[in-house]
Amino acid sequence: MENNQNNQRVVAAGSGQTAGAGSDRSAWPLWEIFIRSKQGLDHKHIGSLHAADAAMAIENARDVYTRRMEGVSIWVVESKYVHASNPDEAASFYDPANDKVYRHPTFYDLPDELKHM
Amino acid sequence: MSLIEFETTFQDKVDQDIRIEPKDWMPDAYRKTLIRQISQHAHSEIVGMLPEANWITRAPTLRRKATLIAKVQDEAGHGLYLYSAAETLGITRDEMIGQLHSGKAKYSSIFNYPTLTWADMGAIGWLVDGAAIMNQVPLCRASYGPYARAMVRICKEESFHQRQGFEILLVLSRGSEEQRRMCQDSINRWWWPSVMMFGPSDDASPNSEQSMRWKIKRFSNDDLRQRFVDICAEQVKLLGMTLPDPDLKWNEERGHFDFGPIDWEEFRNVINGNGPCNKERLAARVKAHEDGAWVRDAALAHAQKRAAKEGQEAA
């Protein structure tokens, strides 16, 4: 509910999912869903859904996103709590990495005879 | 940047197959087109549950019943993926539901036809889901990220829908004389509406060109339709049945099947609300939404009450 009272637009890290600045106060808030597909792997953003509270969001996420055993663990985060970088500023924001090719192993010119490196 | 520069940058990204994400700048018309297309698609998934729900209680075996329930549940999920994708463009769920219920938003006209026999569950799976898959696979590469990602999930799930449908028809086609008649009858009724699912022919589809430029659409309506006809004309032979088109004939020169003229008058009629089940479908949707209102309200009240209580305990 608070989600829609906020006029700021909220973006989830995984998808850039935006919660519309809607007007309906009665609507259930939006949740971003993250699923671990098997032990040893990261939780990955999979989508979003509306639910009245966290428990319902987890149950709905199970029904919507794991009907074919796609998950062993679910995280839900109310969309309004996700903060994201601004795509309009991407050029300057990521600029510091642009001129540092020496951070990559292929930058270094070594003889082919050199093994195990 | 000026508007023109924004538009050029946008089109450059699309041309290079760089996906557009929700917070990226996009032309208003692109946003509007997507909202219309994705929400109509979502509505189609939701309304599409109704013709099949009709047969859940009358499925011939427990296996068929479990399958049909799973399929209908998938359609609900597909509707949800798509509503969520549309919401990233700035429209709310309530607005979209309102547009569906007021008749302002359209959904696929195929769901305005009745499901008269069990064989229709087979024909819908084979033909209607088959046509949907044909339309949807290219959408997995649509330029708008959330839409494309939703379509990837949907396409993965649709495959079982089509296979279970064909299996239903296959069993009927090997059954009694009456079952074979039922099978052919349902193919006869669903064939042309399925062919129409690809939309108006290219010369009568004014928005297609722009959608192709934006890479929302990758193939023309007529190209996809031809591919569908070619595939089904072969598949129907496995059933020992026929497609109800006297003009259907292999054309060696074109390397495609020729097929008869489409009744666009019927297509327009059904789209404009005069199909056999338009009123019934919409009424069922509205009733389900209104009957469920108290559940939505109760869940919200419960969540608020609990949050308030937790707030007090924490204080």
> What is the longest distance spanned by two Cα atoms in chain B?
80
Identify all chain A residues contacting B21, using CB atoms and an 8 Å cutoff.
15-16, 87
On whether any CB of chain B is under 8 Å from the CB of A52, the answer is: yes
Q: What angle (nearest 5°) sits at the alpha carbon of residue B303, between those of residues B297 and B308?
A: 125
Cα–Cα distance measured from residue A98 to residue A88, given in angstroms and rounded to the nearest whole number = 17
The candidate with the shortest Cα–Cα distance to B147, out of B87, B76, B72, is B87
**What are the C-alpha distances in Å from B141 to residues B40, B146, B148, B227?**
19, 11, 6, 18
Which position has the higher pLDDT, A65 or A2? A65
Nearest Cβ partner for A16 among B22, B25, B299:
B22
Report d(CA A75, CA A35) in Å as an integer.
6
Nearest to B94 among A15, A22, A67 (CB): A22
Mean pLDDT of the A106-116 span: 94
Task: Please indicate whether, in this complex, the C-beta atoms of A17 and B80 are within 8 angstroms of each other.
Answer: no
Local structure of A86: helix, strand or coil: coil
Chosen from B5, B38, B78, B87 to mutate, greatest number of chain A CBs within 10 A = B87
Q: Which two tokens stand for residue B153?
A: 């999930």
Please report, rounded to a whole number, the percentage of residues in chain B having pLDDT higher than 90.
92
The nearest alpha carbon in chain B to A17 belongs to B88
**pLDDT of B51 strictly over 80:** yes
Interface membership of A57 toward B (CB under 8 Å) = no
Residue of B70, B92, B304 lying closest to A27 (CB–CB): B92
- Of the candidate ranges A11-20, A42-51, B212-221, the one whose mean pLDDT is the lowest: A11-20
- Decide: residue B15, CB within 10 A, 0-12 exposed, 13-18 middle, 19+ buried: exposed
Average pLDDT value for chain B: 95
Per-residue pLDDT tens over the stretch B65-84: 999 999 999 999 999 999 99
Interface membership of A50 toward B (CB under 8 Å): yes
How would residue B2 be classed by pLDDT, with cut points 50, 70 and 90? confident
Q: Does residue A22 have a pLDDT over 70?
A: no
Q: Which residue has the higher pLDDT, B307 or B176?
A: B176
* Nearby residues of B15 by Cβ (< 8 Å), 6 or more positions away: none
Gap between the Cα atoms of B288 and B294, Å rounded: 11
- pLDDT category of residue A6 using cuts at 50, 70 and 90: very low
Chain A CB contacts of B87 under 8 Å are 18-20, 30, 48
Section A60-76 average pLDDT: 96
A84-88, B6-10, B88-92: segment of lowest average pLDDT: A84-88
Exposure class string for B230-246: b at 16+ Cβ within 10 A, else e = eebbebbeebebebebe
At residue A117, the pLDDT reads 87
Contact indicator for B54, B68 with CB cutoff of 8 Å: no
Tens of pLDDT, residues B227-243: 999 999 999 999 999 99
Take residue B52 and report the two structure tokens written for it: 């099949």
Q: How confident is the model at residue A10 (pLDDT cuts 50, 70, 90)?
A: very low
pLDDT of residue A11 exceeding 60: no
Confidence of residue A4 (pLDDT cuts 50, 70, 90): very low
pLDDT grade, residue B25 (50/70/90)? very high
* CB contacts, 8 Å: B91 with chain A: 20
**Which stretch, A2-6, A20-24, B266-270, has highest mean pLDDT?**
B266-270
Beta strands in A1-117 (DSSP E): 10-11, 18-19, 30-36, 43-50, 73-78
Lowest mean pLDDT among A16-20, B208-212, B245-249: A16-20
Say which of A19, A50, A87 has its CB closest to residue B24: A87
Chain A environment of B145 (Cβ under 8 Å): 15-16
Residue B91: closest C-alpha in chain A = A20
Mean pLDDT of A101-111: 94
pLDDT at residue B47, rounded to an integer: 96
CB contact under 8 Å between B92 and A23, yes or no, is yes
Interface of B with A (CB under 8 A): 21-25, 70, 73-74, 77, 80-81, 84, 87-95, 145-146, 149-150, 153, 157, 296-297, 299-300, 302-304, 306-307
Residue B111 is encoded by which pair of tokens?
A: 């769901």
Mean pLDDT of B30-55: 96
- pLDDT greater than 70 at residue A21: no
Contact B165, B115 (CB under 8 A): no
Q: What's the pLDDT at B43?
A: 97
* Residue-wise pLDDT tens digits, B158-207: 989 999 999 999 999 999 999 999 999 999 999 999 999 999 998 888 78
**Bridge partner list, A48:** A32
Helix and strand element counts for chain A (H, E): 3, 5
> B135 near B41, Cβ under 8 Å?
no
Cβ contacts of B253 within 8 Å, gap of 6 or more = none
Q: Quick check: A8 contacting B, CB < 8 Å?
A: no
* Among candidate residues B57, B37, B213, B264, the one with its CA nearest the CA of residue B135: B37
Coil, helix or strand at residue A9: coil
Of the candidates B52, B202, B237, the residue with the CA atom closest to the CA atom of residue B129: B52
Q: Which residue of A has its CA nearest to B85?
A: A17
The span from the CA of B257 to the CA of B242, in Å, is 14
Say if residues A29 and A43 touch (Cβ distance below 8 Å): no
Q: For residue A50, which residues of chain B lie inside 8 Å, CB to CB? A: 93
Q: What percent of chain A has pLDDT over 70?
A: 78
Note the pLDDT of residue A8. 37
